[in-house]
Amino acid sequence: MRSILTIYRKELSDHFSSNKFLILLALIYIAGLSSTYVALSNIREAASSLDKHVFLYLFTTGGDVLPSFITFISFFVPIIGIIFGFDAINSERNSGNLSRVLSQPIYRDSLINGKFLAGITTLSIIIASIVFIISGIGLFSIGVPPTTEEILRIFFFIFLCVFYGGFWMGLSILFSITMEKTAASILTAIAIWIFLMFFLPIISNAIANSIVPLADDSTLTEIARNYSIENAISKISPATLFSESILVILMPVGGNLFSNSVAYLQSYDLLNSGEMILNPLTLGQSLIQVWPQLVVIVALAIICFAISYVIFMRQEIRST
């Protein structure tokens, strides 16, 4: 156990003193503070007077120029995960440290466990710190303290971010184990992220349109079927699952509609005409809504790390 702690402490101190940590922290803080400024400017228009969850609008309200904080987070969390994992093992191997460290009286898994835990801790600190800073600024600016439910929702949001980042970290650690060069491991991880984040929605849209083509005179059933197919395919991506989850968690009013495009489509006219008013979901209801997504994200993070672990344990350690 002491060996894991030793490696964990060393890795943590490496992360905190590294330039990549400072650059990522600065980027996240700039993005977070900018989106908070935009949210504070638009929060009056976004929140209705009856809304009980005004505080959460700090995270979900965007503007014309800058998107909301959760949009930034969806973008940055995978990057942080990848950055803190892509060179975990291959850099140790290339520098000649791997064989030296593993020739010490430690179990081999101590190394990968210590590194993963240190990466997750760093990610948690980055996410939690910016969320708490935004909350603090919001508290001063809007003068409305968060309710217990809002605080819990914020913690669930942080929890989701950490597991989502954990998935990307596990994936990039996997590449750092299987690939010799750090450049190859980071490029592969980024390529997968770009595919899942940007290309999968285009592909799922194309597939849905080829199965159920839409025209101006398409019926609501056809549109709904087209949306369902697109939605089902895009759910392959953890990015989609994460976006849907955080919307439901941080938008008790209507957030769940974004994860169900058919329901959204059906209620769109009614909502616009004011004939339908949405009630906020309780935290329990929100969690039931995102339970499948949440389980899949946590499972993906665990599976990725487990594969990395198994490969690393079976891998040949060369002397150079």
Nearest distance, CB of residue 296 and other proteins, angstroms: 36
Nearest distance, CB of residue 186 and other proteins, angstroms: 19
User: Residues 89-128, buried b or exposed e (16+ Cβ, 10 A)?
Assistant: bbebbeeeebeebeeeebebebbbbbbbbbbbbbbbebbe
User: Considering beta carbons, is residue 101 or 152 the nearer one to other proteins?
Assistant: 101
User: Considering beta carbons, is residue 10 or 225 the nearer one to other proteins?
Assistant: 10
User: Considering beta carbons, is residue 103 or 285 the nearer one to other proteins?
Assistant: 103
Nearest distance, CB of residue 179 and other proteins, angstroms: 18
Nearest distance, CB of residue 97 and other proteins, angstroms: 4
User: Considering beta carbons, is residue 157 or 309 the nearer one to other proteins?
Assistant: 309
User: Residues 56-83, buried b or exposed e (16+ Cβ, 10 A)?
Assistant: bbbbbbbeeebbbbbbbbbebbbbbbbb
260 φ/ψ sector (left φ>0, alpha ψ -120 to 50, else beta): beta
Interface with other proteins by CB under 8 A: which residues?
Answer: 2-3, 6-7, 10, 14, 17, 92, 95-107, 316-320
Nearest distance, CB of residue 310 and other proteins, angstroms: 16
Torsion of CA 203, 204, 206, 209, to 10 degrees: 180
Distance CA(109)–CA(134), nearest Å, equals: 37
User: Considering beta carbons, is residue 11 or 244 the nearer one to other proteins?
Assistant: 11
